[in-house]
A and B are shown apart, each in its own frame.
Chain A
């Protein structure tokens, strides 16, 4: 091959650069809220607005709520979330993967709720600790609370907590994850009392 002494090293260099790029480009495209904050909001619309206005992108979300997304619980009335805020965030590249942590006492209920949903093209994929929704715009790990161990401490997450869905003991454990640094977040949303403020679309 003519110019082999140049072309082969050049191609090898290009390939090595590409390999490095696959590890660095994605993390470099993630954007975080500065400074880190915790806010109390009263609707999914407000969460949606906050995520969009904060300029966050390419993120993990950890969601401690009763319902994942309106798209999976379409009959929600006076409850969080009243809009498909997670679906929108994934569509717009804000969230790339989500962890939906479910109270153990409603685990079977949630599983059946999701299984019955016609939005899913294929059924959930079982994992060691729960199941995985292979969502069009990112995967959603659905895990019962007792099985959840934050294992992504090196990457700050967008955290959403709905205290009404948790017992005081469970809430205390969630707080422990955050205080101990097991679960780090730059933007934590606490869902306040929604019954009086959520406007149904």
Chain B
């Protein structure tokens, strides 16, 4: 696992600061962060989003300067740490199995996750904070460690970053309550602990994450009104509101993310034979296996009457439903928040299949090798490394969209 983590860091760090210009939405994110930090106001239609991610980027800009290191360093850290967290969560949910290693490897070597971790997308920190919350909550429920207040803190940070996990957060709490009840430990004292640490504390942390907004003179009543207005405003958005709607369509509609192979991106040709590329994809070789894997793991968990085994598929569904049912266009980078649960389910399906055919070592070795080789092939074209065109023609021939940067 240490080797996977090191490689995850290398793929996210290597050459990330070489591109001294904004990549894709960085032009929005960095302007947003600087305006938020300087004036407390937002830029580029970001007023309705929670503000913690902007504060984080502003913090790294203050620390490292207004340059690629300042813009991207936080996502490199959070993206790499997320790999460690999925391993730790896997170990708690599927003890004494290969699931943690397989799931962490899938995420570590997912070319799209590597691409997103090398930019400023908010999906990376919000996934990190949510996994941190899950891990700390499971340490409490499974190992009886005193991590409940820290779980509440992480839950608040998740809420303060983006609203992807509004269904998944209470789902995890319900699971924790179920586990405590199952063990006969759900006393009134535990209920008080839950209310204080998993309700009051996260709300307080969430409110504090709006420190810059409150610093503009607002009060809590105005905050409530603003949140109501933002819900209304988000429902009014349609495709025409997005200047980059070609790009919005290129990543596919949410229902396509785990069904069709999708490739799109940007290029800068250096000659007829060489160029720099920022290619995005839905990592089709692996993500197209996710839905069947979810089905298999749910059936297995149902037969075993195991709530623990059911949790990752349920978390996946809770996040995916929010995206599928949202009454507004959704960009494909939102898939980032689904990947930990998708890959936990896929890894579980692989271990079940391997055990079924009684070829565990061979299956795991093939799976890990395939993940790594695919990542090695894709890495140069997701990271703007100068590459010859010829070896990547199979990818370029199926691109849905190719812009220039």
Contacts and interface: CB of A to CB of B under 8 A. Distances in A.
A18 B220 CA distance: 11
Interface string A9-47: 001101100110111011101100000000000000000
B47 A137 contact: yes
Contacts of B35: 91
Interface residues of A, number: 40
B41 A11 contact: no
- Which applies to chain B's interface (DSSP): helix, strand, loop or mixed? helix
B315 to A, nearest CB: 25
A125 interface: yes
A7 B217 CA distance: 32
B243 to A, nearest CB: 10
Given A8-B192, A8-B193, A26 B42 contact: no
A22 B146 contact: no
B204 A19 contact: yes
- Which applies to chain A's interface (DSSP): helix, strand, loop or mixed? mixed
A166 B148 CA distance: 62
A11 B229 contact: no
A140 to B, nearest CB: 12
Interface string A81-102: 0000000001111001100000
A165 interface: no
B223 interface: yes
B214 A25 contact: yes
A57 B41 CA distance: 12
Interface stretch (B84-92, B157-165, B231-239, B353-361): B231-239
Interface stretch (B103-111, B118-126, B195-203): B195-203
Interface string A107-139: 000000000000001110100000010111111
A137 B192 CA distance: 39
A11 B150 CA distance: 11
B56 to A, nearest CB: 20
A134 B189 CA distance: 44
Contacts of A93: 39-41, 215-217
A191 B198 CA distance: 54
B241 A22 contact: no
Nearest to B199: A15
Given A1-B146, A15-B203, A92-B39, A26 B45 contact: no
A86 to B, nearest CB: 13
A103 interface: no
Contacts of A29: 214-217
Contacts of B193: 1, 4, 8
A92 B42 CA distance: 10
Given A29-B217, A58-B217, A122 B241 contact: yes
Interface residues of B, number: 43
A18 to B, nearest CB: 4
B214 A15 contact: no
A184 to B, nearest CB: 16
Contacts of B200: 11-12, 15
Contact of A11 (B197, B208, B218): B197
A96 B217 contact: yes
Given A93-B40, A137-B42, A22 B47 contact: no
| Highest count of chain B CB atoms <10 Å: which of A7, A26, A138 | A26
A2 interface: yes
Interface string A178-192: 000000000000000
A67 interface: no
Contacts of B226: 139
A58 B201 CA distance: 28
Contacts of B196: 8, 11-12, 15
B39 A91 contact: yes
A23 B218 CA distance: 8
A18 B233 CA distance: 28
A59 interface: yes
A96 to B, nearest CB: 5
A26 B146 contact: no
Given A1-B146, A8-B192, A15-B200, A26 B215 contact: yes
14 contacts: A7-B149, A8-B196, A12-B200, A18-B207, A25-B214, A26-B217, A26-B219, A30-B217, A58-B216, A96-B216, A97-B222, A132-B229, A134-B47, A136-B47
Interface of A: 1-4, 7-8, 11-12, 14-15, 18-19, 21-23, 25-27, 29-30, 57-59, 90-93, 96-97, 121-123, 125, 132, 134-139
Given A19-B204, A26-B217, A138-B216, 16 more contacts: A12-B196, A12-B200, A15-B201, A18-B207, A18-B208, A22-B207, A22-B220, A26-B214, A26-B215, A26-B219, A90-B41, A93-B39, A125-B232, A132-B229, A134-B229, A137-B47
Q: Which 6 A-B pairs have the closest CB atoms?
A: A58-B217, A22-B220, A18-B204, A122-B236, A137-B41, A15-B200
